[in-house]
Amino acid sequence: MRLENKVALITGASSGIGKESALLFAKEGAKIVAVDVNDAEGEKTVAEIKTAGGEAVYTHADVSKAADCEAMVKTAEDQFGKLNVMFNNAGIMDSRDDNALVTEEDVWDLTMAINLKGVFLGCKYGIAAMLRAGGGSIINTASFVGLMGAATPQVAYTASKGGVIALSRELSVIHARENIRVNALCPGPLRTELLMKFLDTEAKKQKRLVHIPMGRFGEAKEMAQAALFLASDESSYTTGTEFVVDGGITSAYVTPE
């Protein structure tokens, strides 16, 4: 198994990429700390893991709060003795997020607090635990829009994901010789509840789909497979990357005639 004897903490584990990654990582031998603010669905993720024969615990944490992030990492060490994989995946996409003229300050602040500050806090406490464990892998969920911008305006989200990419790159350099790898996973448009709520009309969906060479939205399970590679020792020489899994969209991001 690719994650045997490893302990993985995954935020946003109640749905989407986080849930699929928790299930897959557990199947590959990892002990899972599933983190979310949706307790009912987070507990369901843990129950599915246990039913399949895996080991997991759930803990509630608002990733925008330092005390919660410190506590979730402590849970990993208290329950399983160490932390080897930190998947800072929790994020939001506010339906009110638009262009700079109409996006309200509270939407900007909330998006930054969860999508960017939450990753920073996860790294802050996760790196400390990994130093105690002798190293590890950090995966931060960014997005292709952090590299290219978005066809449908969402300035706060795009800026937050650009920040995740820059933060990941810098941390990878700082901690490379301490056996800690840091990579930014950059999904393309996915058929997840998060994006489908934002692309809430057929016109908005088609505005994204027209750019994707594969002609379809990606699936959360496909991102989990990419995260598994970054979490495993198979990616032992991979750090500081923008790990793009996007159906080709960043290679063909042009406005159609």
List, in order, residues 6 or more apart from 100 with CB less than 8 Å away. 155
E strand segments, 64-195? 85-88, 136-141, 180-187
Catalytic residue among 125, 157, 237, 253: 157
How far, in Å, CA of 144 to CA of 244, rounded? 7
What residues form DSSP beta bridges with 242?
184
E strand segments, the chain? 7-11, 31-36, 56-60, 85-88, 136-141, 180-187, 242-245
What are the structure tokens assigned to 20, written together?
């699929």
Question: Are 246 and 144 a contacting pair, CB within 8 Å?
Answer: yes
Q: How many CA atoms lie within 13 A of 205 on its CB side?
A: 15
CA quadruple 146, 18, 75, 62: dihedral sign: positive
Whether 125 is catalytic is no
Closest CA relative to residue 14, chosen from 145, 165, 192? 192
User: Exposure pattern of 199-231 as b/e (b: 16+ CB <10 Å)?
Assistant: beeeeebeebbebbeeeebbbbebbbebbbbbb
End-to-end CA distance of the chain: give it in Å, rounded. 48
Q: Which residues are catalytic?
A: 157
